[in-house]
Structure 1
Amino acid sequence: MELQPGREAAVRVPVATLWSAPEAVRPIDGAALGDTPDTAAWVAGMDRDQQVGECVLSQLLLGERVLVTELRADGWAQVVALEQPAAKLDPRGYPGWLPTAQLTAPAETDASAGPLVVDATLTALRTAPDGPVALPEVVLGTRLAPAGRTVDGWRPVHVPGRMDPLWVPEADVVPLPTERPEAKEVLAVAERLHDLVYVWGGVSSHGIDCSGLVHLAWRRYGVTLPRDADDQAEATSPLALGEERPGDLYFFARPGRRIHHIGIVSSEPQGEVRRMLHACYIQRVVIEQRLPDYREATLVAAHRV
């Protein structure tokens, strides 16, 4: 099936970057474009300033569904990311642009087979058990549809855009949970991304931003949170400061401004001492730290998912 406006499609690459406009991409962004984006090389090639280019809106993972709203002759598709709520931008999901080559028709799978989710930070999908790599660097939180029984420690999975199943190490995937996780379990997933580089709009284990870290950690457990921090605040329940526990969320805003930052509570508050794990725009890395004075001054709320 060819891509058509008004119909759904699926991401066929490990990580697809969502852009504000085709004209907004920079020379440094070449590795993230095309049929086989190299997200790791793209992130590694950026300097500190390029890591926060606002041309990047978000990222979509292999198999993620989009609604195609426009197709351009130059190889770009305007889409709505259906699995990334963004109520203030579009009630259907997060809008933006993707290279058409990174999309395909949604895969037809057996609905009775429970989905799997990648639990490894990175894994590779192969053409056969222990065979050649077909899709490298599939990231944490990616959902995969099982395609049969395990063979010698390898699990066959359906992948959009491919007729034959690919194979993933059984140890790298787990069944997608059917029950809501405890917040501390989600915190443990986020902690595995400690020291990961900060990338504005990032939602992968190649690079990530503050709200992307929260979105991805909960996605690993099958819980869909909005993409942006202010929408995440709207979708969660406020707590009195002092009642927060590990895995809850801190929100930050300047006076009279909307929420601009989010962190995950990493330990119970001790008096006025609060700690969080977050993707830090200033240090350009995921860190766990006591809230510095400038963060305390802009802390506006604690919430629970």
Structure 2
Amino acid sequence: MINKSSAFLWSDHKPHAVKEKLMHQERKAKFYQLTDEEVLSLYTDRLVDSELLYGEIVDTKETSGAYTKIVVPDQKSSKDQAGYPGWVFTKDLSPIPEDWSAELDKAAIKKSTAQLNFFDMAYEKQEISVGTVFSVTEADEKNIYVLTPDGPGWIAKEAVQFLGQSSQDSAEQIISLAKEFLHLRYVWAGTSAAGFDCSGFVYSLYRVFGRELSRDAHEQALEGTEVHYSTAQLGDLLFFAYEEGKGAVHHVGIYIGDDQMIHSQTPGSKVIITTISGTNYAKELCTVRRHF
């Protein structure tokens, strides 16, 4: 299990200044701290392929020095049928709790961030990202009680969505949640409240409402039911491709009505709302996919 609020899935285990900084950064109870220049380096140097959240279960393959090669079963990818492959810091991994079971109820954080509290006072309260999924042992009127890599803890019930209990207004809820991240900086490969890339933004928000999408946009574009843009509804996913929509898929946004989408735009930019008509997006729109 991942034992940090978030952990990058590195594309390799070669040395790099950004990796070295994060490897030695004390951030147990909070997200990573990187400058805008260092965040841009994640993209320009192609350092990362995805990001993992606290408690994410992984399969380990091999260890090389300070890194462990893994696959991530919950992040579907054509790169490996077993899950998204890559490398993480070995110190960011902890054993799965002995009392964990796949049969336990699951709940996802539905706010931009939430606070995880531990029964073991040796651990400080931890900031947890939207999209983080926990195994639930019990719940009362105020809290849910969860298993974690650091022992049992609890989270305010108002901060979570029980998976398998999505409502008819899930699409509206996704849009409302997405708007909480307006002006959050784009982070290449990001899936957390510290910063998203375009497909990570969609992946994490849809996960909250029990929709398990592939991790990358070009694969997400093949999932769900295809509809015409003229009939697009709130929460539909809009995909864009090079060569005026005929080439490779390179971007995804969430339709919010009135010819607009919300999306994590591009490296160096932020989460923004964009009107489609009259822009290059109108020319590059290649498919619209519905999941609700």
TM-score bracket, shorter-length normalisation = 0.7 to 0.9
CA displacement at 1:62 relative to structure 2: 1.3
Corresponding residue number in structure 2 for 1:3: none
Query: Offset at 1:159?
Result: 0.3
Partners of 2:2 and 2:39 in 1: how far apart?
Answer: 28
Alignment pair present for 1:172 and 2:159: yes
Alignment partners' CA distance in 2, 1:155 and 1:179: 17
Equivalent residue runs for 1:128-277 within 5 Å: 128=119, 134=124, 136-150=126-140, 153-160=142-149, 162=150, 164-179=151-166, 182-255=170-243, 257-268=247-258, 274-277=259-262
CA contact (8 A) 1:11 1:65 kept: yes
Q: How big is the shift at 1:168? A: 2.4
> What percentage of residue pairs aligned between the two structures are identical?
25
Q: Secondary structure at the match of 1:65?
A: coil
| Aligned counterpart, 2:289 | 303
Residues 33-69 of structure 1, C-alpha deviation per residue, up to 9 Å, x if partnerless? Answer: 3585477443445457335242111011112121112
Give the 3 Å change call, closer, same or farther, for CA 80–242 of structure 1 in structure 2.
same
Alpha-carbon distance, 1:186 to partner = 2.3
Q: TM-score, normalised by structure 1?
A: 0.83
Partners of 1:17 and 1:56 within 8 A in 2: yes
Structure-to-structure mapping, 1:108-127, within 5 angstroms: 108-109=99-100, 113-127=104-118
RMSD of the TM alignment (CA)?
A: 2.6
Query: Helix, strand or coil for the counterpart of 1:214?
Result: helix
1:75 match: 66
* TM-score, with structure 2 as normaliser: 0.86
CA distance in 2, matches of 1:264, 1:157: 31
C-alpha deviation, 1:191, in angstroms? 2.1
Query: What SS does structure 2 have at the residue aligned with 1:218?
Result: helix
Instruction: State the one-letter code of the partner of 2:105.
Output: G
Q: Residue 21 of structure 1 aligns to which amino acid in structure 2?
A: D
Q: Which residue of 1 aligns with 2:80?
A: 90
Counterpart code for 1:62: Y
- CA–CA separation in structure 2 for the residues paired with 1:221 and 1:69: 30
Structure 1 residue runs without a partner (length 5+): 1-9, 269-273
SS of the residue 2:286 aligns to: strand
CA deviation vs aligned residue, 1:69-92 (integer Å, no higher than 9, x gap) = 2222x12111111101012x1112
CA distance, structure 2, for counterparts of residue 145 and residue 35 of structure 1: 28
Stretch of structure 1 that moved more, 138-147 or 119-128: 119-128
Which one of the candidate residues 272, 288, 291 is aligned to 1:287? 272
Secondary structure at the counterpart of residue 97 of structure 1: strand
Q: Distance in 2 between matches of 1:32 and 1:238?
A: 41
| Cα distance change, pair 75–195 in 1 and its aligned pair in 2 (3 A) | same
Counterpart Cα distance in 1 of 2:257 and 2:77: 29
Out of 32, 35, 53, the position equivalent to 1:61 is 53
- How many residues were matched structurally? 284
Superposition deviation, residue 295 in structure 1:
1.7
Q: For residues 257-292 of structure 1, what are the alpha-carbon distances to aligned partners after superposition, in whole Å with 9 as ceiling and x for unaligned?
A: 310011111104xxxxx2111001066100012125
1:50 aligned partner, one-letter code: S
**Amino acid of the residue matched to residue 75 of structure 1?**
A
